[in-house]
Amino acid sequence: MTGDLSANHVHGAGQDFPWNRTMHQVLSSTIAIIGTILNLVAIFVLYKEGLHKQSPFKFVLNLFVSNFLMCSVCLPIISYCAFFLDADNIGPCPYYGYIIYSILGTAVLNIVLISFNRYFLIVRFSLYHRIYTARNIRIILVVVWTFYPTLLAFPLTNIWGTFTYDNLRFMCNPLHSNSSFRVFVLVTTVIITVPTILFCYVEILRKVNSSFRRVASVHSGVVQRMRNDRQLVRTILVTIILFTCMNLPFIMLSILDPHMNKVDLWIHGFAIYLGWSNSIVNPLIYSTLNYQIKSSLLGVFSALFKKNPNADFPKVIAEIEIKVIAVPRRASSHETTI
């Protein structure tokens, strides 16, 4: 695929609006910088404290890595395309699109992995250590990181579909040229993600509510556990609501208006970068609502401010710290990870 593509390989040719190009240039660059820093810090903290050695944190780390790649690779590519490419000179845009959609799909699958991990950790803990062995975790991660790159190799090689340049999004899109491939990818993604996430979190909420009823009449020694369970419910609700609100608009518009000719262009732009912003929100959510990660972050900030005794930033963070879920230390192997 080169710059002399025929019209059926260029979606939206002749509709390049300067304000739209500027919006993509600014937002892609901004989110890329902020997201790269936040995810890099989160990855550093997990490794510094050795949390990556615990199986629940392996999947959180995996999500941070995919979000880091989204911000450090995908968004800079979009920024570059918005600055330099157009319908007459798309360069290696199909390969850019392949990289972007492979990483984006993998990041979505990582959310599913965390959902499954929480489900077995909380609802089916008796099976947890049999399923999440070191060998099985390696196999799961290999499958997740190769699924979309393998699937998207079909349009990249023009076997099934093709990557077409979309000058309204400034990337090459594999979902425009072939309706059967678009339907297959969207249906497969929805089936893998939506039912799984809903099932896992509904079962977790049922399990927690059942625990409320069982311990309601027990002595006060279980009060802290009940508070932890309530915080678990809040955390799950926050996670579900934010994930849905930030990704559903983009998903719905991709299904209902894939060629961006029915809905105002600025609405599409808002939905696109609201979805990209999830890569910024994810490290904030998990770093804020997980006690171990948050404690490690506070330790890092404390070390940074140690040279300035008058700086009270760590104190402020500590004062507003949210008390999050944590199974009692005596059962640390069953500690819940958010």
Query: Is residue 315 situated within a structural domain?
Result: yes
Helices marked H in the chain: 18-48, 55-69, 75-84, 93-122, 125-131, 134-151, 153-156, 179-215, 223-256, 265-276, 278-289, 291-305, 313-319
Query: Is residue 231 situated within a structural domain?
Result: yes
* pLDDT, mean over the chain: 78
Query: Is residue 2 situated within a structural domain?
Result: no
165 vs 177, more confident: 165
pLDDT at 325: 35
pLDDT at 313: 44
31 vs 176, more confident: 31
Query: Is residue 1 situated within a structural domain?
Result: no
Query: Is residue 4 situated within a structural domain?
Result: no
CATH code, domain with 297:
1.20.1070.10
pLDDT at 317: 39
**Coil vs helix vs strand at 257:** coil
Closest among 182, 188, 190 to 161, alpha carbons compared: 182
pLDDT at 8: 42
Which tens digit of pLDDT belongs to each residue from 90-148? 778 899 999 999 999 999 899 889 888 888 988 888 999 999 999 999 999 999 999 99
Average pLDDT in the 167-177 region?
82
Give percent of the chain above pLDDT 90. Answer: 29
Mean pLDDT is highest, among 144-153, 194-203, 302-311, for 144-153
Answer whether 121's CB lies under 8 Å from 128's CB: yes
Q: How many CB atoms lie within 10 A of CB 254?
A: 18
**In Å, how far are 40, 100, 251 from 65, measured between CA atoms?**
8, 14, 23
What b/e readout covers 12-48, taking b as 16+ CB neighbours within 10 angstroms? bbeeeeeebbebbbebbbebbeebbebbeebbebbee
Which tens digit of pLDDT belongs to each residue from 60-93? 899 899 999 999 999 999 999 999 877 777 778 8
Average pLDDT in the 252-267 region?
81
**In Å, how far are 51, 73, 93, 112, 286 from 97, measured between CA atoms?**
33, 11, 6, 23, 29
Mean pLDDT is highest, among 25-39, 104-118, 169-183, 292-306, for 25-39
Answer whether 192's CB lies under 8 Å from 112's CB: yes
Residue 207 has pLDDT above 70, yes or no: yes
Question: How many whole angstroms separate alpha carbon 175 and alpha carbon 161?
Answer: 8
Number of structural domains (the chain) is 1
307 vs 205, more confident: 205
What pTM does this model have?
0.80
Query: Is residue 189 situated within a structural domain?
Result: yes
Query: Is residue 57 situated within a structural domain?
Result: yes
Its domain, for residue 20, covers: 10-334
pLDDT at 314: 43
Write out the two tokens for 20: 């739209």
Query: Is residue 5 situated within a structural domain?
Result: no
